[in-house]
Amino acid sequence: MAPNFQNRIRCLREWMEHAGLDAILVSHAPNILYLCGFSGSSGALVVGREWAVLITDGRYDLQARAEVKTARVRIYRGDPLDAVGKVVEGRRLRTMGFEAHHLTVAQRRALGRAVRNSVRWKQVPGAVEALRAVKDSFEIAELRASAKLASRVMEQVVPLLRPGIRELEVAAEIDFRIRKLGASGPSFETIIASGPRSALPHARPSGKKIRKNELVVLDLGAILRHYCSDLTRTVYLGKAPPRVRKMYNAVQEAQAAAFASIRPGIPGADVNQAARHVLDLHGLGRFFVHSLGHGVGLEIHEEPRLQSGAKTRLRAGHVVTVEPGVYIPGFGGIRIEDDVLVTPRGAEILTRPRGDFLEL
């Protein structure tokens, strides 16, 4: 299977018509990759109603010509944004969109200078991101493969945990295996947090040795052929005391409630609430200090969000993480995270194995 860039650009053009745009300047690299397949780090894609041009510099000449079939490739020296004026010159454009979230104030000013004054610029935040949120069948297959790879890394690394091994060593074992199994690298900085440090949701791995009778949170993900995965397991070194077991069961129950609530049409905020409600019942709600989940795709954090206030309704083809956690300062934390595909009927979990409590 191959990505259908033509279809993606067609969807963008439909949206442009509704938004009253004659053209759109796409400058965010993952959006460019999504629309035309260019994976270089310096580029700008200008999409008109009937034409599309990718601007990049000489370093990416060969790569761009090999990767991009659905847009013309134009090579310029320097910042691709400086060449936008040359690309739109002579075309009758009244209104042009730009990605407000992905331009600096200086870049926006330079665009104003480079393009004739008669063009009216319009901010279009999140336009391509909204298209990207709903995955096509090619992307679903890639995300499935990425989730599978991350799951295999987890399966290989959990047995290496033993008293005396340092958090950084475990992180190194994970990052090594991610590449060894064929991914281009981790999709974010691997998190290993043991003992009281597990109460820090985003702890960087440290030189701390993992000890017996400690919780260990392992949060890892891979980038496989540009697609990200994100997976967390929490294990206990030894026989878990009742307090830890209770916490773990509550988090697992919260995740199950969130899975059960997922179906097309439900707002992201309601899925978040389904998990939070369970933790509230266990008296742990105040220790759930982050949102329930986020979309995954070409980026590790993307649309849609599962958090309070998130009105976006889930649609079949959305892929999100479901990651409830409780973090008790001075004691420890537990998080369980899986990647989930929203299907016409409900949810399909892409990561494995399911998070049964692991006592090592």
The stretch among 157-165, 213-221, 267-275, 341-349 that binds Zn ion (CB under 5 A) is: 213-221
Q: Which stretch binds Zn ion (CB under 5 A): 76-84, 245-253, 264-272, 332-340?
A: 332-340
Q: Does 321 bind Zn ion (CB under 5 A)?
A: yes
Parallel/antiparallel/unpaired status of strands 72-75 and 52-56:
parallel
- The residue among 319, 262, 334, 306 whose CA lies nearest residue 141 is 319
Q: Tell me if 151 contacts Zn ion by CB under 5 A.
A: no
Q: Give the nearer residue to Zn ion in terms of CB position, either 99 or 337.
A: 337
Confirm if 263 and 342 have CB atoms less than 8 A apart: yes
DSSP secondary structure of 175-242:
HHHHHHTT-SEESS--EEEEGGGGGSTTPPP-SPBP-TT-EEEEEE-EEETTEE--EEEEEESSPPPH
Contact 45, 29 (CB under 8 A): no
Identify which of residues 39 and 190 has a Cβ nearer to Zn ion in the complex: 190
- Residue 187 interacts with Zn ion (CB under 5 A): yes or no: no
Residues 6 or more apart in contact with residue 90 via CB below 8 angstroms: none
What the block records as the tokens of 80 is 């691709």
Contact range with Zn ion by CB under 5 A, out of 29-37, 224-232, 254-262, 351-359 = 224-232
State the residue for tokens 């490739």. 73
**CA 36-265-127 angle, 5° bins:** 30
Q: Which of 230, 270, 303, 339 binds Zn ion (CB under 5 A)?
A: 230
Closest to Zn ion by CB, 56 vs 187, is 187
d(CA 160, CA 216): 12
Which is nearer to Zn ion, 11 or 300 (by Cβ)? 300
Piece of 197-205, 235-243, 284-292, 321-329 that binds Zn ion (CB under 5 A)? 321-329
> Taking the complex as a whole, how short is the minimal distance between the CB of residue 294 and Zn ion, in angstroms?
6
According to CB under 5 A, which residues from 12 to 31 bind Zn ion? none
Strand 293-295, strand 302-306: pairing: antiparallel
Is 261 a binder of Zn ion (CB under 5 A)? no
Binding Zn ion (rule: CB under 5 A), the pick from 139, 175, 219, 338 is 219
**At its nearest, how many Å lie between Zn ion and the CB of residue 148?**
16
Round the CA-based radius of gyration of the chain to a whole number and report it. 23
Binding mask 278-317 for Zn ion (x = CB under 5 A): ----------------------------------------
Closer residue to Zn ion in complex, CB, 139/219: 219
Pairwise CA distance, residues 190 & 171, whole Å: 6
Nearer to Zn ion, 70 or 321 (CB): 321
Using CB under 5 A, count the residues that bind Zn ion: 5
Strands 293-295 and 222-224, bridge-based pairing: unpaired
**Residue 142 vs 299, nearer CB to Zn ion:** 299
Contact residues for Zn ion, defined by CB under 5 A: 219, 230, 232, 321, 337
